[in-house]
Amino acid sequence: MSIPITEYRNAKSYAADNSRIDVEINHPEYGWIPYSCNSFDTDMTINNDDLLALIGDDFEPYVAPTQEELDAEKSQDVRAWRDHLLQSEVDPIVSNALRWAEMSSDKQAEWAQYRTNLLNVPQQSSFPNSISWPTKPE
């Protein structure tokens, strides 16, 4: 049995076809909570068809993101991946004094250059949409 929702506020479309509307609903047990009404959702705890009928046309229309917004999001994703590579591949090597000391100076230079190249990814001319990822030393 679905939970009846009779009040909503701040409805906003997040899809060009209005298949996803984010809204706050007045839940009978929890009060006002955020909720994503997705027409493809099969969970019927809250009946999305009933909620969409309640909302009708009373929502902010979808506004496509600008290229600047898309680039900013992509930039965050690329930096997060770069940071992951630094933490998972570089840090375990360069921050371990014993492992570092066992390496030849050539191998240390390769790892130092790899780290520098990762840090310089945002300076690439095609950033953030096309990245030439540096090759990890063997």
Neighbours of 125 (CB within 10 A): 6
Whether residue 74 is found in the same domain as residue 119: yes
Asked whether residue 32 is domain-assigned, the answer is: yes
Query: Tokens 């300076």, residue?
Result: 123
Whether residue 41 is found in the same domain as residue 71: no
Q: Which domain holds residue 80?
A: 67-123
Q: How many domains does the chain have?
A: 2
What is the DSSP secondary structure assignment for residue 103, as one 8-state letter?
S
Asked whether residue 27 is domain-assigned, the answer is: yes
Name the CA radius of gyration of the chain, rounded.
Answer: 24
Instruction: Convert the pLDDT of each residue in 101-138 to its tens digit.
Output: 999 999 999 999 999 999 999 999 999 999 999 999 98
Asked whether residue 119 is domain-assigned, the answer is: yes
Asked whether residue 77 is domain-assigned, the answer is: yes
Whether residue 87 is found in the same domain as residue 40: no
Peptide bond into 122 cis (omega under 30): no
Whether residue 118 is found in the same domain as residue 72: yes
Helix (H, G, I), strand (E, B) or coil at 121: helix
Whether residue 114 is found in the same domain as residue 75: yes
Q: Which residues contact 38 (CB under 8 A, 6 or more apart)?
A: 19, 20, 48
Asked whether residue 51 is domain-assigned, the answer is: yes
User: Do the Cβ atoms of 25 and 32 come closer than 8 Å?
Assistant: yes
Tens place of pLDDT for every residue, the chain, 138 residues? 789 999 999 999 999 998 899 999 999 999 999 999 987 788 889 988 899 999 999 999 999 999 999 999 999 999 999 999 999 999 999 999 999 999 999 999 999 999 999 999 999 999 999 999 999 998
Average pLDDT score, the chain: 94
Q: Which residues contact 35 (CB under 8 A, 6 or more apart)?
A: 22, 23, 24, 25, 46, 51
